[in-house]
Amino acid sequence: MKPIVLAPNGIPRFYLGGAEIARLRGVESAGERVPEDWVGSTTTVFGDPDLGLSRLPDGRLLRDAIAADPVAFLGPAHAQRFGGDPALLVKLLDAGERLPVHLHPDGAFAQRHLGSRFGKTEAWIVLAATQPDTAVHLGFREDVDEQTLRGWVAEQDHDALLGSLNPLPVATGDAIFVPAGTPHAIGAGLLIAELQEPSDMSVLLEWEGFGIADDDEATLGLGWDVAMGCVDRRPLDPRPLVGPAPDGPNSSLLPALADGFFGARRLVPDGPLELAPRFCILIVTEGEGRLSAAGVEPVALRRGDTVLVPFAAGTCILDGDVVAIACLPPAPERGS
């Protein structure tokens, strides 16, 4: 089994974007409202049985290939804990406009109300910031009581909802961990790599004017009486959620708080860089290089490529004038 270069997997959404993904990948844009590319995905869009699933070059669904041999793709320890689920969804996301203030349920809420094994804790790695003074907004600055929040939502008070959150200026290379339940909004002009638990569940506190049909769609069909239960209304200091500055040829990008959910490492080889056997998704962000595994031809890499590395590929060697992000599932021994 060898590393597999994956084709784009564009996903239509309600918001504008997609041109920056096409530019990164060196392909034609799929449309002005195809702002996400789900990479190596075994996850589907909420309410759709098929949309979101990645295909291998031979035409098979990745989900089916992993289910047929989870140990080869994911490794024995991961397969023992998660079966054939990678426990990870990786996206490229191009915010062509500011996204609405929204949040995602945690695992306990998702299991109780949505029949999902996973919630949707996520992390963002900024690949490009195409507008000046771009920011994300993350967590309430002050405690917000439920009655006040319900009022803002009922009136669709955009200024109050966005203004209640912590603004966090970001630049290329920044990485931010976003716990489930945390209200947030991604600013216009950001191209990010997003790592998340493998689900597609969003509660949209702000939805009017964003192409969302109604309260039912905004609450995943739960209604506000239930959906309010997954909102973390406590004040948040976003500083501990910001990842460390990269340091060295293989450096962690996310804070330790993310370790139970996923990992991300910035790979910048200054010679042959050895990667231990582990399932991962590589996103090549700069340059050109090679990924070599024993017994197979090296895989040529260039900016914009996305590569699935199965556990059974064994120890791989990355070299060349290249920069890549390795997106990793949770370590098998850690909770998610």
**In sequence order, what DSSP letters do the residues of 215-247 get, joined into one string?**
HHHHTTTS-HHHHGGG---SB---GGGBPPPP-
Indicate whether 208 and 286 sit together in one domain. no
Q: How far is it, in rounded angstroms, from Cα 40 to Cα 5?
A: 10
In the predicted model, what is the mean pLDDT of residues 253-271? Answer: 97
User: 3-state DSSP call for residue 176?
Assistant: strand
Q: Are 213 and 145 in contact (CB under 8 A)?
A: no
* 335 band by pLDDT with thresholds 50, 70 and 90: very low
Indicate whether 47 and 119 sit together in one domain. yes
pLDDT in tens, 177-234: 999 999 999 999 999 999 999 999 999 999 999 999 999 999 999 999 999 999 999 9
Q: What pTM, to 2 d.p., does this model score?
A: 0.96
Does residue 334 fall inside a structural domain?
A: no
pLDDT (0 to 100) of residue 333: 67
Indicate whether 224 and 78 sit together in one domain. yes
Indicate whether 231 and 274 sit together in one domain. no
Indicate whether 237 and 103 sit together in one domain. yes
For 221, residues 6+ apart whose C-beta sits below 8 A from its C-beta are: none
Q: How far is it, in rounded angstroms, from Cα 47 to Cα 31?
A: 22
Indicate whether 177 and 298 sit together in one domain. no
Domain hosting 211: range is: 4-241
Q: Are 182 and 105 in contact (CB under 8 A)?
A: no
**Which residue type occupies 187?**
G
